[in-house]
């Protein structure tokens, strides 16, 4: 297993290089530039700013300089937030997105797995129907609808929670963003868990366990849960990366200074270095979470032997 993980980490290096290279050249090929909105600037000032940000160099030289800076841990200056470097912006936004994403992932996993188990154990009964109705609503109703409704009822009408802001991660400010972000993932996890559990529930070894006189909860925890979790674990790799790197809609709705918000503003303003830094972090987190998923997958299913050849 360890050799497999090391190989995956080695493969991650060219993958990250390819992502960085494609993003760099695609951003440069897109129409417009980082200073196009500054209509009041004279040509002399624009030329001086181009020199300051190395935009006067040929494209291949810009790429070499940028790659060299990244290898040294320097993600460059922000083109729009001129008093800040990209490293400083990430240091401010990444903890917000990671905190929000962690709690949303935890809520989605706990509630989604619970709903899926309840639906499978009570197949074709009212708990199954109620769970799947909730899951369908979670998938079909977008978060830009859920968010304003939560603000309207919980913050405006009932005044239970603040309508927005971060306040250093105070739990009262996190409840609505976490719920809004987690709802679609709860629905997906619940549906995956239900389908997987129904399949496992029909396996011969489960019937043998019941024939031995074990209670339903004993069969569930001892024999059915681990194999039923395998599809959910596979889904959690990209889901966790998506949650941890911020949600544009959720962060805009609740005024959160997270990574998703910076990404949109950077893309709209052609802030090359900021956009590339966010893409780099998304790629890194995706690679790391997929490695974690492989490890958990092997723990849940010991028959899987990564890195071994089979005849």
Q: Closest Cα partner for 174 from 183, 164, 184?
A: 164
* Assigned CATH for 93-260: 1.10.3720.10
Nearest-angstrom CA–CA distance, 267 and 75: 16
**Cβ proximity of 15 and 29 under 8 Å:** no
First to last CA, the chain: 19
Per-residue pLDDT band for 309 (boundaries 50, 70, 90) equals very low
| Mean pLDDT confidence for 29-39 | 68
Calculate the alpha carbon distances from 171 to 166, 177, 285 in Å.
Answer: 9, 10, 25
- What's the half-sphere exposure (Cβ side, CA atoms, 13 Å) at 228? 31
Domain boundary assignment for the chain: 93-260
pLDDT at 307 over 60: no
Per-residue pLDDT band for 308 (boundaries 50, 70, 90) equals low
- pLDDT value at position 173? 92
Q: What is the mean pLDDT of the chain?
A: 85
Q: What are 6-16's pLDDT values in tens digits?
A: 787 788 889 88
Per-residue pLDDT band for 155 (boundaries 50, 70, 90) equals very high
| Mean pLDDT confidence for 202-228 | 88
Q: Per DSSP, which regions of 241-290 are E strands?
A: none
* Orientation angle between helical segments 272-300 and 225-244, nearest 10 degrees: 170
Q: Which residues pair with 224 in a beta bridge?
A: none
pTM listed for this prediction: 0.84
């Amino acid at each position: 297993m360890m050799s497999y993980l090391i190989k995956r980490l080695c493969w991650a290096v060219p993958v990250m290089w390819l992502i960085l290279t494609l993003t760099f050249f695609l951003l440069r090929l897109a129409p417009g530039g980082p200073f196009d909105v500054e209509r009041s600037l004279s040509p002399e000032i624009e030329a001086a700013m181009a020199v300051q940000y190395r935009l006067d160099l040929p494209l291949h030289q810009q790429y070499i300089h940028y790659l060299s800076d990244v290898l040294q841990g320097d993600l460059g200056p922000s083109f729009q937030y001129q008093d800040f470097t990209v490293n400083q912006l990430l240091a401010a936004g990444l903890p917000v997105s990671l905190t929000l994403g962690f709690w949303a992932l935890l809520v989605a996993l706990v509630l989604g797995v619970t709903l899926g188990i309840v639906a499978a154990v009570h197949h074709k009964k009212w708990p199954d129907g109620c769970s799947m109705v909730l899951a369908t609503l979670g998938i079909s109703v977008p978060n830009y609808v859920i968010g304003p409704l939560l603000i309207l009822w919980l913050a405006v009408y009932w005044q239970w929670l603040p309508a927005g802001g971060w306040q250093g991660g105070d739990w009262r400010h996190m409840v609505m963003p976490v719920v809004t972000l987690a709802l679609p993932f709860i629905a997906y996890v619940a549906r995956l868990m239900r389908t997987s559990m129904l399949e496992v529930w029909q396996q011969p070894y489960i019937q043998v366990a019941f024939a031995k006189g074990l209670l339903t909860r004993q069969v569930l925890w001892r024999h059915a849960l681990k194999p039923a979790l395998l599809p959910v674990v596979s889904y959690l790799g990209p889901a966790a990366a998506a949650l941890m790197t911020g949600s544009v809609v959720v962060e805009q709705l609740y005024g959160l200074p997270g990574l998703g918000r910076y990404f949109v503003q950077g893309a709209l303003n052609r802030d090359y270095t900021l956009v590339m830094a966010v893409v780099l972090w998304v790629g890194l987190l995706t690679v790391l979470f997929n490695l974690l998923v492989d490890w958990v997958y092997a723990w849940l299913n010991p028959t899987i032997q990564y890195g071994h050849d089979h005849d």
